[in-house]
């Protein structure tokens, strides 16, 4: 099939494009910068340069590709987030841009897809800190999101999911990825990995009882699920996470060890709230994890790293 990948040069896109090529698809990869065209070519795709926030440019880029499937992997979250940003995530420039990519750019890509007669649309969504802080530690796609947590970031994600999964001209799938780790992500052995840095410096503590449950996904497994979703699966939302959602108190010491860091410190909730704000504190103490049963059952997706235990030990890059 002809597949248009918006975000071909990103952490996920770089893993996804070669997989799609290997499965026999013809890929056009979008980037903002003329200078990244060679990277797109090296992945096996034809590059097209367009700014996702410019509707005419997106329409032209998509029209030139005549895709049957469009994949939306646009985000802008790779920058460093300071404590100040953590306290005010609504003002973090990467989050503001990502919200625009999840709303405006989604609209532009959907309009372009409809105009060229595409029949499938697969988009990146995100799972963490979305579920109501009631019920069990692991939740499904059917569980509701937390009404108290509907800040701009979650609103943009909910907008994307709704817009994509309700298209009437094709099949729309939104993939709620877990926290990425592995090569090219914020959790890797690279010296500039943004989340690994604070963990190495022991600035990423266990807060309170460390009961927040996180769901992780190795970037290769996320790409593998996405490649399958390009080809099959009913419209709807899929959690793309590993088999073992786990509380911070369990996974953080293991990750610190894998990064060669000393064990994390422990800080009380009140101190975390003061230093890093409410959202970060909730994430560390009350977040719920996600179940991958639907994605495994309906997409027939298999994981190379079914648990972060094995992934942190062998897959950090």
Ligand X SMILES: NC(=O)c1ccc[n+]([C@@H]2O[C@H](COP(=O)([O-])OP(=O)(O)OC[C@H]3O[C@@H](n4cnc5c(N)ncnc54)[C@H](OP(=O)(O)O)[C@@H]3O)[C@@H](O)[C@H]2O)c1
Binding string, 271-310, against ligand X, x = CB under 6 A? ----------------------------------------
Q: Which of 41, 42, 78, 135 binds ligand X (CB under 6 A)?
A: 78
Shortest Å, Cβ 98 to ligand X: 6
Q: Which of 186, 205, 210, 245 binds ligand X (CB under 6 A)?
A: 186
Does the protein bind ligand X through residue 155 (CB under 6 A)?
no
Residue range at the interface with ligand X (CB under 6 A); choices 32-40, 64-72, 161-169, 270-278: 32-40
Do residues 229 and 173 make contact, with C-beta atoms less than 8 angstroms apart? yes
Any contact of residue 153 with ligand X (CB under 6 A)? no
**Positions 34 through 63 that interact with ligand X (CB under 6 A):** 36, 51-53
Alpha-carbon distance 173 to 154, whole Å?
A: 18
Distance CA 283, CA 237 (A): 22
Q: By C-beta, is 195 or 246 nearer to ligand X?
A: 195
Task: Please list, in sequence order, all residues whose beta carbon lies within 8 angstroms of the beta carbon of residue 278, skipping any fewer than 6 positions away.
Answer: none
When asked if residue 129 is in the footprint of ligand X (CB under 6 A), the reply is no
Of residues 198, 215, 278, the one with CA closest to residue 250: 215
Q: Which of the residues 195 through 224 are near ligand X (CB under 6 A)? A: none
Site for ligand X in 89-118 (CB under 6 A): 101
d(CA 108, CA 282): 34
Q: Which string of b and e fits 271-307 if b means at least 16 CB within 10 Å?
A: ebbebbbebbbbbbbbbbbbbbebbbebbebebebbb
- Shortest spacing between CB 8 and ligand X, in angstroms: 6
Residues 31/9, Cβ–Cβ less than 8 Å: yes
Pairing mode, strands 246-247 and 213-214: antiparallel
The residues binding ligand X (CB under 6 A) are: 7-11, 13, 30-33, 36, 51-53, 74-78, 101, 126, 180, 185-186
């Amino acid at each position: 099939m002809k597949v248009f990948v918006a975000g071909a040069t990103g952490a996920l896109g770089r893993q996804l494009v070669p997989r799609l090529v290997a499965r026999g698809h013809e890929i056009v990869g979008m980037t903002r910068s003329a200078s990244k065209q060679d990277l797109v070519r090296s992945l096996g795709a034809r590059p097209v340069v367009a700014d996702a926030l410019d509707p005419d440019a997106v329409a032209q880029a998509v029209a030139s590709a005549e895709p049957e499937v469009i994949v939306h992997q646009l985000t802008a979250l790779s920058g460093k987030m300071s404590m100040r940003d953590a306290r005010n995530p609504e003002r973090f420039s990467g989050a503001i841009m990502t919200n625009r990519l999840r709303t405006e750019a989604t609209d532009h890509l959907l309009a372009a897809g409809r105009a060229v007669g595409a029949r499938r649309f697969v988009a990146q969504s995100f799972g963490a800190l979305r579920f109501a802080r009631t019920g069990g530690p692991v939740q499904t796609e059917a569980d509701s999101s937390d009404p108290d947590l509907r800040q701009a970031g979650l609103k943009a994600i909910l907008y994307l999911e709704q817009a994509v999964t309700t298209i009437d001209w094709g099949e729309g799938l939104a993939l709620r990825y877990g926290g990425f780790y592995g090569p090219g992500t914020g959790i890797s052995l690279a010296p500039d990995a943004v989340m690994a840095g604070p963990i190495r410096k022991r600035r990423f503590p266990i807060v309170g009882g460390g009961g927040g449950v996180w769901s992780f996904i190795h970037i290769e497994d996320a790409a593998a699920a996405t490649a399958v979703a390009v080809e099959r699966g009913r419209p709807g939302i899929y959690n793309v996470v590993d088999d073992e959602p786990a509380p911070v108190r369990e996974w953080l010491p293991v990750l610190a060890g894998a990064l060669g860091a000393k064990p994390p410190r422990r800080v009380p909730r009140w101190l975390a709230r003061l230093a890093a704000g409410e959202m970060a504190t909730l994430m560390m103490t009350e977040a719920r994890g996600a179940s991958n049963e639907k994605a495994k059952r309906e997409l027939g997706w298999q994981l190379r790293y079914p648990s972060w235990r094995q992934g942190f030990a062998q897959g950090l890059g």
